[in-house]
Chains A and B, each alone.
Chain A
Amino acid sequence: MLPTDTSTTEPILKMTGISKTFPGVKALSDVALELRPGHVTALIGENGAGKSTLVKILTGIYQPDGGNIEIDGKTVELPTAEAAQELGITAIHQETVLFDELTVAENIYIGHQPRNRYGLIDWAAMHARAAAILHGIDAPISTRTRLKDLSIAQRHLVAIARALSIDARIVIMDEPTAALSYKEVEELFGIIDRLKKAGKAILFISHKFEEVWQICDYFAVFRDGRQVGAGRLDEVSHNDLVKLMVGRDVTQAFPKLPAEIGDVVLKVDGYCHPTEFDQVSLELRRGEILGLYGLVGAGRSEVCQALFGVTRPSAGTVTLSGRPIAVRSPSDAIDAGIVYVPEERGRHGAITAMSIVSNISLPSLKVTSRRNFLRMAEEFDLARKYAERLDLRAASLSQPVGTLSGGNQQKVVIGKWLATLPKVIILDEPTKGIDIGSKAAVHAFMSQLAVEGLAVIMVSSEIPEILGMSDRVIVMREGRMAGVFEREGLTPETLVRAATGNKEAAA
């Protein structure tokens, strides 16, 4: 599958010196990327390395702060998604963005339907052309089927057909295999092969090393918004890539304080879920920070959500402070002393239209009210206490949470849970998407909680955070536990190997 004659292929796309800054975050600094026709380039990096930002720049959704983009040797501007599409750039996303209620043909031609001479949609031509494209990629799908009736793999085929219909020359695939079964992945790779033969330049983004090796010709590794390596895949080893991907300075300052590890607080045994995870067992002690590492979709959040009563496990027992507990709803979990700070602040965490006070007091209303009547003064006291502890920056506690910065919103969400005086606190990606300053504050605070005797479970996809903060680390892969590691002597390579199931790298 390796290219036979790469020396003569000139890049079709050349990005140089691309930078992009968001308020408080330098997402990309001076990165470069080349894509060649008829070849697949792998883009590799941890979460937050800047891959998605680059894709968004390439598809005209973000504008870079600086840098140059060349297609066929000519400098181009990509001010809008339409402009990128006209230049032949198309992206197939993780969760393919298509329209469930429309037919396959309509999805393929949405936005550029063939017209007849009266300017109306030419349905016959649309179905005929869609069928021809689908035939070309060996996809046996009727053009009149509604998209909602297709499998995820078939949807990918439709997305690819759509890319072909606009005559794309550069196809970006953002973790296309994340939701596919083994067989579907093979089918997808068959199509990628055909796209290669048709001379398309493909950017393939994936966490899975085996796939990268199987399908890609070139690679580019991003880390912390920089390009740290690029070249031909046949010139590097698995180990080289792992090192490039994680090889940052792990001695980065993490304010982990020595906490006294006490008795077992939470014990989970043989925890199973019909679709998300299988046979998960863990023990968590007072004062301990347990890191939960794994790739996106490894089942970490799902285990935590089951512990919190959002979903129901199918088997397994949970013991809290020596007593078995049955958690049927989040309300049960809160009463028992388990709280969960979800990953997505906007969607799961804060109620942005409500004030800081109301958000913080919401799970503690039983405590702040008397005889079923809320007491505002008590709520303000509670909110003030945790706002001070978390160093929350706000003009007034009556201010709606939606008016705060991302980091401060996160503090409100954490404060809300601490106010319930939990025994176990689960933090799901606690520093995802927040600025550096707030990140350090969250880390310091997490450490402080452990010292005060709380048991902490921290789900994180950031290796430095896992290594810097955890006393112990559980690595999950595909819904199962792939390893339990003590803090001492744990290396990034060990974690990545366990999380990806990459045996060759272990050699």
Chain B
Amino acid sequence: MNTIRSLLARREALLVLACLLLLAAITARFPAFSTPKNLAGVFNDTSILIMMALGQSAVILTKSIDLSVAANVALTGMTVAMLNHLMPGLPVVVLILIALGMGMLLGAINGFLVWWLDIPAIVVTLGTMTIFRGLAFVESGGAWVNAHEMSPAFLELPRTLILGLPVLSWAGLLAILLAAVLFTRTGLGRAFYATGGNAVAAVYTGIDIGKTRFLAFVLSGTVAGLCGYLWVSRYAVAYVDVASGFELDTIAACVIGGVSTIGGVGTVGGVVLGALFLGIIKNALPVIGISPFWQMAISGAIIITAVVINARGERVKGRVILRRKELPL
């Protein structure tokens, strides 16, 4: 009994339950939704969100935020799409490396500004978000790169099936695995938690919190860069407004997944489930026949609910700390 209760108390278990209830409710009306094939499709569809939410969660763990990830996707995606259009002979692997490198650079710019100039992350990334999208406009002149202007190899890669799963899904699975190792099995991962959990204590423990935040931004930017390629190739189009507002989805996935907005708390499992939860809703609502505007309202309501649940969990902890602080000595 106790084990069940402690299991239920865990955010991940609650989220699994919520996802299952959601699936059950949808399946009741549309049995086809829960076929393995369709569920695999939902996962494939959510892979980009999962990857970017994991990058975002590293940043949020260090008590920062990265609002520029979607603009990073647009700029990197546009760049590789244009390169592909201009130089169809360039191997896709090279384009992916360019996407990774460019994303890393954009993330490093954010991280550098946060680290060396000591500007709050929300201000830095609000600025770079606009700059990145502006650059995407500058380089494309506002023009679209359409499917017929992309090489078949460029378009095919994410769709290629390996063991029955598309490469895009494999990328998502690989990202989950790497994030799990990074967050729980490396010193850097531990430094993310320590920096956000108590920055002063982290400094006293010998952790360079500025460098830790910098690396979190580099990670988030690199993932966004890769997703830039995946995005334009999956949707077979690149334009300035690609992934517009998607940074909020990545933050929402983190928040729903139990990542504390004040840093230091969160798990890979939670973030993945948070992203999947959003993914299921996004895929199910059109099936049920709910308009896209309602979809946004529903997503918003879920985010607020998640924040309320988080805040309640944190408030109980806060009181305990306060009680202790009232010791007069």
Contact of B208 among A310, A329, A353, A354 (CB under 8 A): A329
Smallest CB–CB gap between A59 and chain B, Å?
14
Contact A349 B204 (CB under 8 A): yes
Contact A342 B204 (CB under 8 A): yes
The A/B interface has a contact count, at CB < 8 Å, of: 104
A374 to B320, CA, bound (A): 31
Contact B328 A402 (CB under 8 A): no
Q: B186-222: contact bitstring with A at CB < 8 Å (1 yes, 0 no)? A: 1101100110011011111111100000000000000
A405 to B208, CA, bound (A): 29
Q: B135-162: contact bitstring with A at CB < 8 Å (1 yes, 0 no)? A: 0000000000000000000000000000
A449 to B264, CA, bound (A): 33
A-chain residues with CB within 8 Å of residue B4 when the two chains form the complex: none
Q: With A48-B329, A358-B190 as known contacts, state yes or no: A340 contacts B204, CB within 8 Å.
A: yes
Contact A406 B204 (CB under 8 A): no
A86 to B272, CA, bound (A): 54
Contact of B194 among A20, A348, A351 (CB under 8 A): A351
A20 to B327, CA, bound (A): 11
Contact B321 A352 (CB under 8 A): yes
Among A126-134, A176-184, A275-283, A362-370, the one that faces the other chain is A362-370
Q: Which of B205, B207, B265, B329 has the most CB of A within 10 A?
A: B329
Is B317 positioned at the interface, with any CB of A under 8 Å from its CB? yes
Is B315 positioned at the interface, with any CB of A under 8 Å from its CB? no
Contact B328 A22 (CB under 8 A): yes
Smallest CB–CB gap between B321 and chain A, Å?
7
B-chain residues with CB within 8 Å of residue A329 when the two chains form the complex: 206, 208
A-chain residues with CB within 8 Å of residue B317 when the two chains form the complex: 352, 402
B-chain residues with CB within 8 Å of residue A403 when the two chains form the complex: 320
Q: A399-420: contact bitstring with B at CB < 8 Å (1 yes, 0 no)? A: 0001101100000000010000
Contact A53 B328 (CB under 8 A): yes
Contact A372 B190 (CB under 8 A): no
Q: With A362-B194, A372-B187 as known contacts, state yes or no: A25 contacts B329, CB within 8 Å.
A: yes
Q: A431-464: contact bitstring with B at CB < 8 Å (1 yes, 0 no)? A: 0111000000000000000000000000000000
CB within 8 Å of B: which A330-364 residues: 330-331, 333-334, 340, 342, 346-354, 358, 362-363
Is A317 positioned at the interface, with any CB of B under 8 Å from its CB? no
Is B10 positioned at the interface, with any CB of A under 8 Å from its CB? no
Contact A331 B194 (CB under 8 A): no
Q: Which of B181, B187, B204, B208 has the most CB of A within 10 A?
A: B204
Contact A347 B194 (CB under 8 A): no
Contact B193 A358 (CB under 8 A): yes
B-chain residues with CB within 8 Å of residue A346 when the two chains form the complex: 321, 324-325
Contact A351 B328 (CB under 8 A): no
A405 to B325, CA, bound (A): 11
Contact B328 A353 (CB under 8 A): no
Q: Which of B205, B260, B326 has the most CB of A within 10 A?
A: B205
The contact size tier of chain A is: 35 or more
Is A27 positioned at the interface, with any CB of B under 8 Å from its CB? yes
Contact B187 A350 (CB under 8 A): no
A-chain residues with CB within 8 Å of residue B328 when the two chains form the complex: 20, 22, 25, 27, 48, 50, 52-53, 56
Contact A369 B200 (CB under 8 A): no
Is A118 positioned at the interface, with any CB of B under 8 Å from its CB? no
Contact A363 B201 (CB under 8 A): no
CB within 8 Å of A: which B156-173 residues: none
B interface, over-half SS: helix
Smallest CB–CB gap between B147 and chain A, Å?
43
A52 to B320, CA, bound (A): 21
B-chain residues with CB within 8 Å of residue A25 when the two chains form the complex: 327-329
A-chain residues with CB within 8 Å of residue B312 when the two chains form the complex: none
Q: With A22-B328, A351-B264, A372-B186 as known contacts, state yes or no: A331 contacts B201, CB within 8 Å.
A: no
Contact A351 B320 (CB under 8 A): no
A220 to B181, CA, bound (A): 61
Q: B189's closest neighbor in chain A, by CB?
A: A374
A406 to B320, CA, bound (A): 11
A-chain residues with CB within 8 Å of residue B198 when the two chains form the complex: 347, 350-353
B-chain residues with CB within 8 Å of residue A56 when the two chains form the complex: 328
Contact A402 B321 (CB under 8 A): yes
Contact B187 A374 (CB under 8 A): yes
A331 to B188, CA, bound (A): 15
Smallest CB–CB gap between A18 and chain B, Å?
13
Smallest CB–CB gap between A205 and chain B, Å?
14
Smallest CB–CB gap between B104 and chain A, Å?
19
Contact B329 A432 (CB under 8 A): yes
A393 to B2, CA, bound (A): 21
A-chain residues with CB within 8 Å of residue B265 when the two chains form the complex: 353
A-chain residues with CB within 8 Å of residue B204 when the two chains form the complex: 308, 310, 330, 340, 342, 348-349
Contact A22 B205 (CB under 8 A): no
Q: A55's closest neighbor in chain B, by CB?
A: B328
Contact A369 B194 (CB under 8 A): no
A434 to B260, CA, bound (A): 29
Contact B201 A350 (CB under 8 A): yes
A347 to B321, CA, bound (A): 11
In the complex, 24 of the A-B residue pairs with CB atoms within 8 angstroms, ordered by the A residue number, are A22-B327, A47-B329, A48-B328, A48-B329, A56-B328, A329-B206, A331-B207, A334-B206, A347-B200, A348-B201, A350-B198, A351-B194, A351-B264, A352-B317, A354-B194, A354-B264, A362-B207, A365-B187, A366-B187, A373-B181, A374-B184, A402-B317, A402-B320, A433-B329
4 tightest Cβ-Cβ pairs between the two chains A and B: A331-B206, A351-B197, A53-B328, A433-B329
